[in-house]
Structure 1
């Protein structure tokens, strides 16, 4: 039986940002660090990605309080080649490390046309799409990825040895909305399964298996089992490639070396991320790129939909539509997240 629905609480972007900064300041982060983290998580909520937005105050906050994440992280950036940056996150909150790496890659790409940043000593950094949007708004195309806690069995294997390896792509459009693709290599993120369990709901049997590898509709059994990769063995292969870039090449943990933030909340995860950016202004004028991007979208939108109520869309269209509505009408937070935010942000 599902729990009784409570109407969501609405916030303006400015108010939600203010409260988010207060909450992370209360958890020990310096002002600028709290701003970086909040920027990513508020964008996630505005995109409608509530499982990766300020609801993460719960897991981030629990780990900050037990020392599993460093509140006063010293993030360092080193230049090892003109277009290559290495970022040590100092075990900071993931979005903080992600923003440092994004800025480092943008700086390198601005100088060289292409910039790459590899980050290590990090934690869960939220969804990819906020970083892709920030990059696109500055004229950069991007490929961004991260490794994650082990939740997927190797193809044909019987225990979890790799994470769902989220990856995202972004291409700017000076004459309209950028293209943003943000996806994990599992059919869904574990956060969606945890939410289904919390709400007393079943899940589709295509999301995960139980411990014995059997498809299940029981979220509790799924959380004890394994996530299913997208596209079968092809998704498994792509997840490995993301981990090779995000974990192995960045000198972070990889595969089973990544600590579980659920099972060991007081231990550093040493997650890794990669940011590959291209300065599109080196390829042609903004008018050139806008014309091509708008034509690209028009070709796709021009396909007659099978269902008239579901027109063809391009990557990022749904999320950017939600972003625009959030700015016009306010941002919805569920009651639990609103209460958590208020508790952390309240004066002590």
Structure 2
């Protein structure tokens, strides 16, 4: 399994996306996002997407030259149509717009459509939280795509993984970061297991007959299996949250809700940003968040645990470690990346 320094992996990505027709600025937005996903330990949303995105550009599904536009604009809300631009380009535009509106008006919601695949949902609330005085929330559906996640009580996939993400600042350290699918696992993690030739944990998947399976290829079989909704014995809660995301991310953005399509044209996204100082003093907020975390972390530890971590702490620690030690990319993913490079006229042997 190749171990690649983050700077090298970024350079490979810049070459791929610029060769695909992206501007240097847009290539950087996409690649930096994907490599950060690897650094955070979320390989399902990392460099494995290089070849998926560049292939989509070649096939005309993603538009590397498109520019997001605001199609509805009010003081504290807006709707953005990205024109088929790469998702990281459209979503960055939308979260920055929401943050600026919240800066002026205290609270803002911006929806986004026609934006391809935005990648890791948590990246965008994190951008707002790093302003130091903003809290942000994201709901992301997959437009009409609707075959991955079985509804509670069902045997066939009818929804997408439909993540919810949240970020809130802390004083003098990294923000709190919540980034979770409303399914047991992201579809990309099943894809990573297929590429690695490994089994998945019990409780992730069912086969086409509804039997629990640890074989990731059952998800892609004919007839296909499905990923389960979040929650285990209370999976009706994950299913319900998935429907919430469909309506907020899909219906309000205009991208639409799951209807059984097996091809994703674009995510539908809803961002809400809160300006803390329109609700309370920033110093008071900081005191409350730190007191809360001290209280939570004061619990006695369960067997097998050395400490209690706040949401986001595992990702930030992983990033520090992998910036130094490198990122492991499985052989199948690397082969796909190199193949895509050759199609684009690049020389992967130089990588």
Q: 1:246 to 1:38 in 2, by over 3 A?
A: same
TM-score, structure 1 as length reference: 0.88
* Residue 237 of structure 2: aligned partner: 234
* Residue 188 of structure 2: aligned partner: 191
Q: 1:143 aligns with which of 134, 137, 140?
A: 137
Query: For each residue in 1:191-233, what CA deviation from the matched residue of structure 2 results, as whole angstroms up to 9, or x when unmatched?
Result: 2212222222222230011112221122111232111001211
Q: 2:55 aligns with which of 54, 62, 70?
A: 62
* Residue 182 of structure 1: aligned partner: 179
Checking the alignment, whether the CA contact within 8 Å between 1:11 and 1:330 is kept in structure 2 is no
Query: For each residue in 1:30-86, what CA deviation from the matched residue of structure 2 results, as whole angstroms up to 9, or x when unmatched?
Result: 222212212321221221111101220121111111111112123112453201011
Q: State yes or no: 1:210 paired with 2:207.
A: yes
* C-alpha displacement of 1:164: 1.3
TM-score, structure 2 as length reference: 0.87
* Residue 35 of structure 1: aligned partner: 28
Deviates more, 1:116-125 or 1:306-315: 306-315
Checking the alignment, whether the CA contact within 8 Å between 1:20 and 1:341 is kept in structure 2 is no
* Residue 329 of structure 2: aligned partner: 334
Q: State yes or no: 1:319 paired with 2:321.
A: no
RMSD between aligned residues: 2.2
Query: For each residue in 1:96-151, what CA deviation from the matched residue of structure 2 results, as whole angstroms up to 9, or x when unmatched?
Result: 11111111111111111111110011222111222122111113111112112321
Q: 1:21 to 1:325 in 2, by over 3 A?
A: same
Q: 1:57 to 1:137 in 2, by over 3 A?
A: same
Checking the alignment, whether the CA contact within 8 Å between 1:170 and 1:181 is kept in structure 2 is yes
Q: State yes or no: 1:275 paired with 2:271.
A: yes
SS in 2 for 1:90: coil
Query: May I ask how many residue pairs the two structures share in their alignment?
Result: 333
SS in 2 for 1:61: helix
SS in 2 for 1:86: strand
* C-alpha displacement of 1:285: 4.0
Match runs of 1:107-122 below 5 Å: 107-122=100-115
* Residue 266 of structure 1: aligned partner: none
Q: State yes or no: 1:124 paired with 2:124.
A: no
Q: 1:250 to 1:11 in 2, by over 3 A?
A: closer
* Residue 157 of structure 2: aligned partner: 160
Checking the alignment, whether the CA contact within 8 Å between 1:305 and 1:312 is kept in structure 2 is yes
* C-alpha displacement of 1:335: 4.9
Q: State yes or no: 1:94 paired with 2:87.
A: yes
Checking the alignment, whether the CA contact within 8 Å between 1:69 and 1:92 is kept in structure 2 is yes
* C-alpha displacement of 1:26: 1.1
Q: 1:317 to 1:274 in 2, by over 3 A?
A: same
Q: State yes or no: 1:11 paired with 2:6.
A: yes
SS in 2 for 1:235: helix
* C-alpha displacement of 1:246: 0.5
Runs of 5+ unmatched residues, structure 2: none
Q: 1:338 to 1:11 in 2, by over 3 A?
A: farther
Q: 1:226 to 1:32 in 2, by over 3 A?
A: same
- Whole-angstrom CA distance in 2 between matches of 1:339 and 1:257: 31
Runs of 5+ unmatched residues, structure 1: 1-5, 262-268
- Whole-angstrom CA distance in 2 between matches of 1:108 and 1:198: 42
* C-alpha displacement of 1:347: 5.0
* Residue 3 of structure 1: aligned partner: none
- Whole-angstrom CA distance in 1 between matches of 2:72 and 2:26: 22
